[in-house]
Amino acid sequence: MDDDVRERLEPLPPSAKLVYYVLDAEGRFDQTGLAEETRLSTRTVRFAIEKLADADLVEEGFCPTDARRSVYEPADAVDAESAPGPAPSAVVAED
């Protein structure tokens, strides 16, 4: 976790920090899964996600198995997936 993320997490409530740490460690979750994993109420998870989204720390996506549900993951994970990878190096065959 970089310093920018730590700075944006600092003013947030403990519930938002817990939700972020779970998302960062475990990956993508929906609200129900986050509530089960963190043992927070779904209302508290919803509040935490709103705070994290306001701080640009989480991204919302669609659940691949149920389009009515949203899934959440850390914004830096989304950025890393969409960032171009290193350019492939040319391989020179020797005869």
What CATH number belongs to 3-82? 1.10.10.10
Residue ranges per domain, the chain? 3-82
Look up the pTM and report it. 0.77
Instruction: Give the other-Cβ count within 10 Å of 74's Cβ.
Output: 22
Residues sharing a CB contact under 8 Å with residue 13, sequence separation 6 or more, in sequence order: 48, 51
For the stretch 31-55, pLDDT in tens is: 999 999 999 999 999 999 999 999 9
CA count, 13 A, side-chain hemisphere, 49:
24
**pLDDT(30) > 50:** yes
29 bridge partner residues: 72
Structure tokens at 19: 């939700």
DSSP for residue 14:
H
